Chain A
Amino acid sequence: MTAHVCVHAHGDIAGKTLLVTGGAGAVGNYAIQLAKWAGARVIATVSASGAADARTAGADIVIDRQKDNVPVAIGAATAGKASITSSMSISAETF
């Protein structure tokens, strides 16, 4: 339920890009699945051991926040354009 309310906080997300931080956690993982079901493109950040779960959930792009340069990886994924429409953050550090 929390994942759904967060994913739809922006309104209609079909065709839009969402960033789900903590994509391997319980809520984050459901957020990926529900966002994909709603027609969004999903970028997920995870810690290394969670990458497989984020992919299983259907994330289009999975970024290892400990290994990858997150802003650069997201920039590459969005072709350098700021196209992240909605982000579900689970930690203050992502602000």
Chain B
Amino acid sequence: MLPDIVALNGTIASYASRGDATPKFPFYPLMRRNVGIRLVLLPTAPHDARKRAQTDIVRWLDEAPRFHRVAAVFPLSETVAAHEAVEAGGERGTVVVAI
């Protein structure tokens, strides 16, 4: 689906593949459009990108009320359960660990 709708020289950024470690993708259709594919994992992202994200998000939160859908809140002592809730999926939104 995507090759036809991505702009020439556009970018696809992805941070997950629903557990598929080796997803297939249309190499030639994307190559012809010179599409950049960015696979994002936060801990190994460049320091500058993370620093900018942090700075931007603090400013963004300060400027106005934001929309947060909270799926569940766990105390710090139940962090394992919080991870399991994320893995299980189901309820939409962010799983929060309260510190």
Residues on A lying within 8 angstroms of B by beta carbon are: 1-2, 4-10, 17, 19, 24-27, 29, 33-34, 37, 49-50, 53, 56-57, 70-71, 74-75, 78, 82-95
Nearest A residue (CB) for B18:
A91
* A33 contacts across to B, CB distance below 8 A: 60, 66-67
Number of A-B contacts (CB under 8 A): 125
B6 and A87 within 8 A (CB): yes
From the candidates A2, A9, A50, A95, name the one contacting B2 in the complex (CB within 8 A): A95
Residues A95 and B7 in contact in the complex (CB < 8 Å), given A6-B40, A26-B69: no
Query: What are the interface flags for B1-43 relative to A under an 8 Å C-beta threshold, 1 for contact and 0 otherwise?
Result: 1101111101111111110100111100000010010101010
Which 5 residue pairs spanning A and B have beta carbons closest together?
A92-B23, A95-B25, A4-B53, A9-B13, A10-B11
B18 and A87 within 8 A (CB): no
A95 touches B26 (CB 8 A): yes
Chain B neighbourhood of A17, CB < 8 A: 7
Q: Please give 14 more A-B residue pairs, beta carbons under 8 A apart, in addition to A1-B57, A26-B93, A92-B17.
A: A5-B45, A5-B53, A8-B52, A9-B40, A10-B10, A26-B69, A33-B66, A53-B67, A56-B67, A71-B4, A82-B10, A82-B33, A88-B15, A92-B23
Closest A residue by C-beta to B53: A4
State how many angstroms separate the Cβ of B54 from the closest Cβ of chain A: 7
